[in-house]
Amino acid sequence: MKPSVEESGSDGGRPSVRALAAGSVGNFIEWYEFGVYGYFATVIAERFFTPTGGGPVEGLVKTYASFALAFFFRPVGAALFGRLGDRIGRRPVLILVVALMTGATALIGALPTYAAVGALAPWLLTLLRVVQGLSAGGEFGGAVAVMTEFAPPGRRGLYGAWQSFTVALGLLGGAGVAAGLATVLTEPQLTAWGWRLPFLLALPMGLGALWLRVRLDETPPFREQSERSGGEQEAAVERLPARAVLPAIALGAGRVMGWAAAGYTFLVVLPSYLQTALHAGFREALIATVLANLGFAVTIIPAGLLSDRVGRRPVMLTGAGLVVLLAVPLLNLLQDEGASALVKGVAVGAAGAVVGLMAGPGPALLAEMFPTRVRCTGLGLAYSLSNAVFSGCAGLIITEAVKRTGSVDVPAYYAAAACAVSMLALFKNPARKAGRADAGDRADVGDVVRRR
């Protein structure tokens, strides 16, 4: 029997490649910006959140509060743009969200600081962070839907892994630009105006992303779904009962919470943690972050490929289990003044690598939990809810907990606890067996609906 478009994904090689490029470039910009904000958190705290007499820790907490607020608008964006993507198509929504993300990021680079406009500065920055949160919430669902729906048979894990891989590239790009500026500019120059340059670079990148997405076709599964419903895609979306969708969203959020918490702990929060808790220099902290993100990038694509053969959950369980076992020893190694720089570099690279084991299969796992008619909304909400709590709040929680307890092991406990809960969610499988290794955990919601 000839497979449906839903199973086969792409109807040709070139559309698949275009879909990967169009989906990837938006993810790159999104995570480049979020990485830059995290890497320059101490500078932003000084310029926007620390009036005369304010302490550096106080300013850093406020900076991470703004960081967290943007993440809490991600679920709103996932619901808003996800519904649009499920009703009118993936392509127009991806064009809209990358335009919003690009504009907001570039404007951050042009904002006046606290010294220039007083209390208005942090409010303007927070407003732009909200716009970024809304657009980022719509980006993930649309991009993953496009990548996995264009994927050839048995390659959803690989194609979905490119979403995570471009996350790593975005974080590496942000870290590389930050490290380069820290090397070329003096500290006063970096603090005065150099921090603006990475945000302004988002403008040409965003224009390139818009060009790619304007040329993108609609996905074959969405076209087939629209034809089956007689063009009434909105009615098809409404017919799927909320009582079937909401449990799968909650389960999906639980499955990726370890990825969210460990990823932001080891890949984004690490520079500020090393500076404030371990008193490392700015350059040393950025180098450690680059090494962590390199380790992250190296394992993502192999993990996605492996998940196409053995299933998504075994690979993700391995990554979550390794974080539970290794988080505290790895952090203790970084704290050891007698350990060599090489050993510490290997440690942060290993921390990033185990996160990659979760990030590789994660997008495909979420995409396969939801049928076409609610895929953008379902996977976008599951991912953004998890990230709002366990990524967006990571810096705030860790900084406050270290401040209150005096324990420098807090980041390890945070990541390990989240991964332990994620392992429990990954063991739970309400869907019937699909009988195909390449399908992974296939369409939990669809199975629930068909059984009703």
* CATH number for 78: 1.20.1250.20
- pLDDT at 282 (0 to 100): 67
Given a cut of 50, whether residue 1 has pLDDT beyond it is no
Q: Which domain range does residue 45 map to?
A: 12-447
- pLDDT at 295 (0 to 100): 92
- pLDDT at 416 (0 to 100): 95
How many whole angstroms separate alpha carbon 376 and alpha carbon 140? 8
User: Has residue 264 been placed in a domain?
Assistant: yes
Secondary structure in 3-state letters for the chain: CCCCHHHHCCCCHHHHHHHHHHHHHHHHHHHHHHHHHHHCHHHHHHHHHCCCCCCHHHHHHHHHHHHHHHHHCHHHHHHHHHHHHHHHCHHHHHHHHHHHHHHHHHHHCCCCCHHHHCCHHHHHHHHHHHHHHHHHHHHHHHHHHHHHHCCCCCCHHHHHHHHHHHHHHHHHHHHHHHHHHHHHCCHHHHHHHHCHHHHHCHHHHHHHHHHHHHCCCCCHHHHHHHHHCCCCHHHHHHHCCHHHHHHHHHHHHHHHHHHHHHHHHHHCCHHHHHHHCCCCCHHHHHHHHHHHHHHHHHHHHHHHHHHHHHCHHHHHHHHHHHHHHHHHHHHHHHHCCCCCHHHHHHHHHHHHHHHHHHHCCHHHHHHCCCCHHHHHHHHHHHHHHHHHHHCCCHHHHHHHHHHHHCCCCHHHHHHHHHHHHHHHHHHCCCCCCCCCHHHCCCCHHHHHHHHC
Given a cut of 70, whether residue 188 has pLDDT beyond it is yes
- % of the chain surpassing 70 pLDDT: 82
- pLDDT at 11 (0 to 100): 47
How many whole angstroms separate alpha carbon 35 and alpha carbon 45? 15
Any idea which of 13-27, 109-123, 124-138, 301-315 has the lowest mean pLDDT?
13-27
- Tell me the pLDDT band of 312, cut-offs 50, 70 and 90: very high
Any idea which of 68-72, 97-101, 352-356, 420-424 has the lowest mean pLDDT?
68-72
- Tell me the pLDDT band of 200, cut-offs 50, 70 and 90: very high
Any idea which of 9-18, 232-241, 253-262 has the lowest mean pLDDT?
232-241
Per residue in 376-407, pLDDT tens? 999 999 999 998 888 777 777 877 787 788 88
- pLDDT at 364 (0 to 100): 95
User: Has residue 393 been placed in a domain?
Assistant: yes
**Predicted structure pTM score:** 0.80
- pLDDT at 440 (0 to 100): 40
User: Has residue 2 been placed in a domain?
Assistant: no
Given a cut of 90, whether residue 423 has pLDDT beyond it is yes
How many whole angstroms separate alpha carbon 317 and alpha carbon 357? 9
Taken as a whole, the chain contains a residue count of 452
Is 130 in contact with 70 (CB distance < 8 Å)? yes
User: Has residue 7 been placed in a domain?
Assistant: no
User: Has residue 6 been placed in a domain?
Assistant: no
Given a cut of 80, whether residue 417 has pLDDT beyond it is yes
Per residue in 249-276, pLDDT tens? 999 999 999 999 998 888 877 766 677 6
- Tell me the pLDDT band of 425, cut-offs 50, 70 and 90: very high
User: Has residue 1 been placed in a domain?
Assistant: no
- pLDDT at 387 (0 to 100): 83
Per residue in 57-98, pLDDT tens? 556 666 666 666 777 888 999 999 999 999 899 999 999 999
Given a cut of 70, whether residue 14 has pLDDT beyond it is no
- Tell me the pLDDT band of 239, cut-offs 50, 70 and 90: low
User: Has residue 5 been placed in a domain?
Assistant: no
Is 329 in contact with 413 (CB distance < 8 Å)? no
User: Has residue 4 been placed in a domain?
Assistant: no
Mean pLDDT of the chain: 81
Q: Which of 265, 198, 267, 188 is nearest to 40 (CA)?
A: 198
- pLDDT at 60 (0 to 100): 63
- pLDDT at 286 (0 to 100): 72
Per the structure, how many domains does the chain have?
1
